[in-house]
């Protein structure tokens, strides 16, 4: 089986779907593990946006899995072929598991270029059309520890026909079979884990068919595609994911693509998702915002009081639309540091946060960097947002372990305040 | 000539001379210990002690215009061994403004930088960036590019802002004239700069905590420069800058003005050559006796993908580096060269701003390492040999040595091989 190394150990399953555990024996040497529910480290070509190794490693407990996308890498195929050492070595990445996905969930690429035999990715130089042969040739040069197979996920636009959705399921299964065939013949990919992609748009029976068929193949895990922001609301998403995960074997991980908002993460964890991409902190950074939502559920009255104050700062934001489909739009989980109210605010971004930015800098300074368009703004915000987001995932695991998901959800959504106050 | 100058500033004369006496008595928050002097050239290695830390000279000071060094954190800058960097009074005075920075415990507190800061007077930006500026005896008048309001930057205002910023070294407001301008305007600017120096000295609220440097003006006219030197060195300021150069003038004029200035500046005080940062210029001007330098070039050029190397520069974005798997400079010990190849940086430039940060770090490391090597060679008494090796590495052959550099070095007894 492709990717026999990666092992999922579940320590707890709540309500038959919501899972706590650990992915073990990842990487070619089998030396890495990742706690689930968890998120991956989002990168541009192996680099966490805005960060160098110095600034990245101010963060403690980074995700052990680094995600790169073929949309970034495909245009450098000839370079990597000449380099021969694989992408990790090329990008100066040591001591991480490399996961290679197809598209960048933070970048919306044009649609309408998918055919029966090809999908397209969009890099800095424009569109690159991939056949399975080219896709697999790329995987052989990238030499990831883990990759998703080629898939047709163009089902998220409104008004998409049932016929088109069915076609996307059929194509993705065909691509999967072809990828697996090449994979098994490629010595370079020995020991590399393969995730099959579950498609099916918003049609339940197509979702089920896709899940059942993909599960029959020798894959190490599953990518749930076509659920991204804008494709559907959370109620439908939860319903479909719950149905899909029921069809998937319990001992294999499920990675959800394109979903990153904290409230949606919680709902999807409850629907049976194990892994998320880490693009959300990047999107927040790009709009000059800092994550400030609460996730602390330890019953410490002192920190609860501090949280209260923190929360009020976040809640009075002008943009608090919870049902916003636009990914570039500010959410209620963040504060807009470009706002004038922060120009003389000498508090850290989040009181009590231990990230480099909060230990060393104040809101007023980050505000100044944003209004003057200074590059350091992106650096400091990316450090903080990545740190905050990772801590949120740690809180999710703690809440699951201690049966406190309800409390965590209310805390994250900001409704726990009335109880404590 | 000196008499007419002082009489023009008659109103301030009495106050000034009183103040001069006071500052003479007070100890300035700066000491300069000369560690070694080159027996051949005018180069020297010094330990400059400033309020926040000591600085080993000759030193290159990176420019952090708006209270930040172009995508580099304060910790990274410290890690590269930077002991002093610059902030720009004009930019910081506009945004976020002196009141706010004062509330944040000065620029050090605002940007969380533990080591030394030097701030300029704001005058240079005014003349170079703002179109609508008018210079009168009072100061520089300009329209704010943010709200269109007319603002007067007087010597007192400049020092007041710099006092709020809390820099370790402040620069006097000078009357900046482009170094290519000739005629009476240059002379007027020189005299005015002297009068403004006195007003700046009188305006400094923290002479015990903040050093005020004078700026030698006089354009490219040796007599004017000399007159300015004579007059300004009468003031007991803690240090001197050589100003009005590095603005597009002929290099032949440039180095002659530099060497004339260092010939007449007091040995026991630091000499800061403003706006100089190309490697060759740094090495030559150290030989001419300068201690401190600043320039936006290394950090600005980095953002365009230009990496500084001992043989000139390397344009990382050029296609020829797409498959070049060596580091920028195999001998460089900076974090960028230790981890990344030219090919990776070339590719990353298409995907993320971190590519710029990598080159910025490399270029700052290059400048600081160059100056440390220069200092080391002065201390070990082999600076002339260092110059020979440096020039050989920088240029493919001796016939490509710039003539001005050859002449400037010859003037301090170094004949390039």
- Nearest alpha-carbon partner for B95 in A374, A335, A379: A374
Q: Which are the contacts of A103, defined by CB distance < 8 A and separation ≥ 6?
A: A69, A70, A71, A109, A121, A153, A257
Query: Does the pLDDT at position A55 exceed 80?
Result: yes
Quote the minimal CA–CA distance from A91 to chain B in Å. 6
Quote the minimal CA–CA distance from B350 to chain A in Å. 6
| Distance, CA of A234 to CA of A393 (rounded, Å) | 19
Q: What is the pLDDT of residues B88-121, one digit of tens each?
A: 999 999 999 999 999 999 999 999 999 999 999 9
Query: Does the pLDDT at position A161 exceed 90?
Result: yes
Q: Do B351 and A72 touch (CB under 8 A)?
A: yes
Whether the CB-CB separation of A151 and A102 falls below 8 Å is answered with yes
Query: Does the pLDDT at position B6 exceed 50?
Result: no
Q: Which helix (H) or strand (E) holds A346?
A: none
Q: What is the pLDDT of residues A247-293, one digit of tens each?
A: 999 999 999 999 999 999 999 999 999 999 999 999 999 999 999 99
Residues of chain B in Cβ contact (below 8 Å) with chain A:
66-76, 79, 91, 95-96, 100, 103-104, 110-112, 322-323, 325, 335-336, 339-341, 343-344, 347-348, 350-358, 361
Among residues of chain A, what percentage have pLDDT more than 90? 81
Query: Does the pLDDT at position A353 exceed 50?
Result: yes
Contacts of A369 in chain B (CB under 8 A): 66, 68
Q: Please, what is the angle between helix B403-411 and helix B251-264, to 10°? A: 20
| Chain B contacts in chain A segment 312-371 (CB below 8 A) | 343-344, 346, 356, 360-362, 364-365, 367-369, 371
Q: Do B96 and A364 touch (CB under 8 A)?
A: yes
Tell whether A126 lies on the interface with B, counting CB pairs under 8 A.
no
pLDDT at A299: 67
ipTM of the complex: 0.94
| Distance, CA of A284 to CA of A327 (rounded, Å) | 9
Mean pLDDT of A101-110: 92
Query: Does the pLDDT at position B84 exceed 60?
Result: yes
Whether the CB-CB separation of B114 and B108 falls below 8 Å is answered with yes
Whether the CB-CB separation of B102 and B164 falls below 8 Å is answered with yes
Q: What is the pLDDT of residues B26-36, one digit of tens each?
A: 578 999 999 99
HSE of A340 in the Cβ direction (CA atoms, 13 Å)? 0
Q: Which of A356, A368, A380 sits opposite B67 (nearest CB)?
A: A368
Query: Does the pLDDT at position A21 exceed 50?
Result: yes
Q: How far are the Cα atoms of A337, A395, B130, B219 from residue A284, in angstroms, in the given order? A: 11, 20, 35, 50
Query: Does the pLDDT at position A81 exceed 60?
Result: yes
> For chain A, which residues make up each domain, given as ranges?
7-278, 292-412
Helix (H, G, I), strand (E, B) or coil at B317: coil
Tell whether A240 lies on the interface with B, counting CB pairs under 8 A.
no
- Residue A343 banded pLDDT, cuts 50, 70, 90: very high
Q: Which residue has the higher pLDDT, A134 or A28?
A: A134
pLDDT at A327: 60
Q: How far are the Cα atoms of A158, A159, A276 from residue A232, in angstroms, in the given order? A: 9, 12, 17
Q: What is the pLDDT of residues A370-385, one digit of tens each?
A: 999 999 999 999 999 9
pLDDT at B22: 43
HSE of B200 in the Cβ direction (CA atoms, 13 Å)? 36
| Distance, CA of A123 to CA of A127 (rounded, Å) | 6
Q: What is the pLDDT of residues A302-336, one digit of tens each?
A: 555 444 445 444 444 444 444 444 566 899 999 99
Residues of chain B with CATH 3.20.20.105: 31-119+153-294
pLDDT at B131: 64
Q: Which of B112, B336, B347 sits opposite A361 (nearest CB)?
A: B112
Query: Does the pLDDT at position B412 exceed 60?
Result: yes
Q: Do B112 and A123 touch (CB under 8 A)?
A: no
- Residue B322 banded pLDDT, cuts 50, 70, 90: very high
Average pLDDT over chain B, rounded to an integer:
92
Query: Does the pLDDT at position A155 exceed 50?
Result: yes
HSE of B339 in the Cβ direction (CA atoms, 13 Å)? 19
Residue A22, beta-bridge partner list: A9, A35
- Residue A4 banded pLDDT, cuts 50, 70, 90: low
Please tell me whether the peptide bond between A37 and the residue prior to it is cis, using omega within 30 degrees of 0. yes
Mean pLDDT of B72-81: 97
Mean pLDDT of A361-378: 97
pLDDT at A108: 83
**Which phi and psi (to 5°) does residue B283 adopt?**
-65, -45
Q: Would residue B10 show up in a list of annotated catalytic residues for this protein?
A: no
Q: Would residue B236 show up in a list of annotated catalytic residues for this protein?
A: no
Q: Do A343 and B356 touch (CB under 8 A)?
A: no
Give B4: exposed, middle or buried? Use CB within 10 Å, 0-12, 13-18, 19+.
exposed
Mean pLDDT of B343-359: 98
Whether the CB-CB separation of A345 and A367 falls below 8 Å is answered with yes
Residue B85, beta-bridge partner list: B117
Q: Do A344 and B95 touch (CB under 8 A)?
A: no
Q: Do B354 and A361 touch (CB under 8 A)?
A: no
Q: Which of B322, B340, B353 sits opposite A375 (nearest CB)?
A: B353
Tell whether A77 lies on the interface with B, counting CB pairs under 8 A.
no
Any idea which of A49-53, B13-17, B251-255, B289-293 has the lowest mean pLDDT?
Answer: B13-17
Catalytic residue among B198, B294, B324, B352: B294
Quote the minimal CA–CA distance from B92 to chain A in Å. 10
Q: Please, what is the angle between helix A405-413 and helix A262-270, to 10°? A: 160
Tell whether A76 lies on the interface with B, counting CB pairs under 8 A.
yes
Tell whether A66 lies on the interface with B, counting CB pairs under 8 A.
no
Q: Which are the contacts of A101, defined by CB distance < 8 A and separation ≥ 6?
A: A67, A68, A69, A70, A147, A148, A223, A257, A277
| Distance, CA of B254 to CA of A196 (rounded, Å) | 68
pLDDT at A303: 52
Q: How far are the Cα atoms of A71, A151, A194, B82, B228 from residue A175, in angstroms, in the given order? A: 18, 6, 13, 54, 79
Query: Does the pLDDT at position B273 exceed 90?
Result: yes
Q: Do B351 and A371 touch (CB under 8 A)?
A: no
| Distance, CA of B176 to CA of A8 (rounded, Å) | 70
pLDDT at A413: 93
A353 is in an annotated binding site: yes
Q: What is the pLDDT of residues B31-68, one digit of tens each?
A: 999 999 999 999 999 999 999 999 999 999 999 999 99
pLDDT at B347: 98
Contacts of B71 in chain A (CB under 8 A): 50, 374-376, 378-379
* CATH number of the structural domain A7-278: 3.20.20.105
Four-way CATH pick for B31-119+153-294: 1.10.645.10, 3.20.20.105, 3.90.1150.10, 3.20.20.80? 3.20.20.105
B174 is in an annotated binding site: yes
Please tell me whether the peptide bond between B299 and the residue prior to it is cis, using omega within 30 degrees of 0. no
Would you tell me how many other CB atoms lie within 10 Å of the CB of residue A254? 24
Q: Do B95 and A372 touch (CB under 8 A)?
A: yes
pLDDT at B132: 64
Interface test mutation site (partner B, options A41, A44, A52, max chain B beta carbons within 10 A): A52
| Distance, CA of A253 to CA of A255 (rounded, Å) | 7
Q: Using the 8-state DSSP alphabet, how is residue A44 labeled?
A: B
| Distance, CA of A365 to CA of A369 (rounded, Å) | 6
Interface test mutation site (partner B, options A46, A54, A56, A370, max chain B beta carbons within 10 A): A54
- Nearest alpha-carbon partner for B311 in B403, B389, B386, B375: B389
Contacts of B358 in chain A (CB under 8 A): 52
Task: Determine the number of helices (DSSP H) and then strands (DSSP E) in chain B.
Answer: 18, 16
Tell whether A411 lies on the interface with B, counting CB pairs under 8 A.
no
Helix (H, G, I), strand (E, B) or coil at B54: strand
| Distance, CA of B118 to CA of A45 (rounded, Å) | 38
Tell whether A124 lies on the interface with B, counting CB pairs under 8 A.
yes
| Distance, CA of A146 to CA of A6 (rounded, Å) | 9
Q: Where are the alpha helices (DSSP H) in A233-342?
A: 234-247, 262-270, 280-286, 301-315
pLDDT at A415: 66
Question: Looking at the whole model, is its pTM more than 0.90?
Answer: yes
Please tell me whether the peptide bond between A9 and the residue prior to it is cis, using omega within 30 degrees of 0. no
Catalytic residue among B120, B281, B291, B329: B120
Average pLDDT over chain A, rounded to an integer:
91
| Distance, CA of B48 to CA of B207 (rounded, Å) | 17
Mean pLDDT of B264-271: 98
Contacts of B357 in chain A (CB under 8 A): 50, 52, 375, 379
Query: Does the pLDDT at position B159 exceed 90?
Result: yes
| Distance, CA of A36 to CA of A11 (rounded, Å) | 10
């Amino acid at each position: 089986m492709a990717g026999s190394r990666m092992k999922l150990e579940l320590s707890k399953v709540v309500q038959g779907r919501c899972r706590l555990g650990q992915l073990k024996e990842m990487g070619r040497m089998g030396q890495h593990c990742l706690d689930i529910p968890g998120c991956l480290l989002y990168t541009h070509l192996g680099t966490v946006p805005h960060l160098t190794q110095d600034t990245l490693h101010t963060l403690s407990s980074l995700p052990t899995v680094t995600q790169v996308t073929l949309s970034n890498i495909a245009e450098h195929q000839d370079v990597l072929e000449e380099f021969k050492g694989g992408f990790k070595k090329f990008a100066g990445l040591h001591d991480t598991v490399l996961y290679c996905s197809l598209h960048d969930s933070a970048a919306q690429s044009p649609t309408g270029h998918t055919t029966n035999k090809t999908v397209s990715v969009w890099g800095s130089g424009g569109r690159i059309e991939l056949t399975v042969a080219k896709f697999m040739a790329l995987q052989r040069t990238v030499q990831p520890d883990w990759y998703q197979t080629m898939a047709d996920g163009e089902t998220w636009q409104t008004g998409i026909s049932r016929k088109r959705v069915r076609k996307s399921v059929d194509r993705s299964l065909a691509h999967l079979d072809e990828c697996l065939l090449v994979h098994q013949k490629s010595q370079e990919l020995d020991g590399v884990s393969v995730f099959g992609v579950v498609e099916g748009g918003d049609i339940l029976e197509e979702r089920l068919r896709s899940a059942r068929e993909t599960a029959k193949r020798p894959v190490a895990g599953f990518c749930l595609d076509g659920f991204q922001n804008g494709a559907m609301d959370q109620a439908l998403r939860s319903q479909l994911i719950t149905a899909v995960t029921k069809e998937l074997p319990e001992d294999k991980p499920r990675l959800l693509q394109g979903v990153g908002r904290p409230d949606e993460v919680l709902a999807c964890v409850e629907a049976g998702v194990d892994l998320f991409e880490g693009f959300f902190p990047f999107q927040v950074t790009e709009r000059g915002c800092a994550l400030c939502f609460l996730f602390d559920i330890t019953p410490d009255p002192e920190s609860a009081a501090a949280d209260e104050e923190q929360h009020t700062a976040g809640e009075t934001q002008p943009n608090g639309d919870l049902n916003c489909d636009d990914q570039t739009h500010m959410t209620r989980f963040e504060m807009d540091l470009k706002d004038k109210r922060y120009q003389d605010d000498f508090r850290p971004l989040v009181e009590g946060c231990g990230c480099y930015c909060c230990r060393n800098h104040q809101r007023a300074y980050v505000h100044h960097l944003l209004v003057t368009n200074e590059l350091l703004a992106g650096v400091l915000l990316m450090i903080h947002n990545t740190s905050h987001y990772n801590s949120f995932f740690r809180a999710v695991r703690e809440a699951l372990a201690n049966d406190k998901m309800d409390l965590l959800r209310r805390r994250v959504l900001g409704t726990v305040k009335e109880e404590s106050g | 000539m000196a008499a007419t100058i002082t009489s023009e500033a008659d109103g301030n004369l009495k106050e000034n001379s009183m103040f001069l006496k006071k500052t003479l008595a007070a100890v300035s928050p700066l000491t300069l210990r000369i560690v070694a002097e080159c027996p051949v050239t005018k180069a020297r290695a010094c330990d400059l002690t400033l309020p926040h830390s000591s600085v080993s000279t000759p030193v290159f000071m990176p420019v952090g215009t708006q209270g930040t060094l172009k995508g580099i954190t304060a910790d990274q800058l410290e890690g590269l061994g930077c002991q002093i960097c610059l902030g720009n009074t004009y930019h910081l005075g506009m945004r976020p403004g002196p009141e706010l920075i004062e509330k944040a415990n000065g620029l050090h507190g605002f940007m969380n930088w533990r080591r030394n800061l030097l701030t300029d007077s704001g005058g240079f930006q005014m003349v170079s960036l703002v179109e609508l500026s008018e210079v009168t005896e009072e100061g520089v008048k300009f329209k704010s590019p943010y709200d269109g309001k007319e603002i007067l930057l007087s010597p007192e205002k400049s020092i007041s802002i710099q006092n709020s910023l809390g820099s370790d070294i402040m620069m006097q407001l000078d009357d900046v004239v482009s170094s290519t301008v000739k005629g009476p305007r240059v002379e007027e600017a020189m005299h005015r700069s002297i009068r403004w120096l006195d007003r700046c000295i009188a305006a400094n609220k923290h002479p015990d905590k903040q050093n005020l440097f004078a700026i030698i003006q006089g354009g490219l006219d040796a007599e004017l420069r000399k007159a300015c030197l004579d007059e300004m060195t009468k003031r007991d300021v803690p240090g001197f800058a050589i100003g009005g150069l590095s603005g597009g003038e002929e290099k032949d004029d440039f180095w002659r003005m530099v060497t004339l200035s260092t010939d007449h500046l007091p040995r026991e005080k630091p000499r800061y050559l403003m706006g100089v940062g190309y490697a060759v210029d740094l090495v030559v001007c150290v030989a001419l006796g300068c201690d401190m330098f600043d320039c936006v070039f290394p950090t600005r050029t980095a953002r365009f993908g230009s990496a500084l190397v001992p043989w000139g520069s390397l344009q990382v974005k050029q296609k020829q580096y797409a498959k070049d798997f060596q580091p920028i400079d195999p001998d460089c010990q900076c974090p960028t060269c230790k981890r990344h190849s030219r090919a990776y940086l070339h590719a990353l430039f298409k995907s993320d701003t971190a590519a710029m940060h990598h080159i910025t770090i490399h270029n700052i490391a290059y400048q600081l390492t160059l100056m440390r090597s220069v200092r080391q060679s002065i201390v070990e008494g082999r600076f002339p040999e260092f110059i020979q090796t440096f020039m050989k590495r920088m240029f493919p052959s001796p016939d490509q040595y710039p003539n001005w550099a050859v002449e400037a070095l010859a003037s301090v007894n170094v004949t390039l091989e």
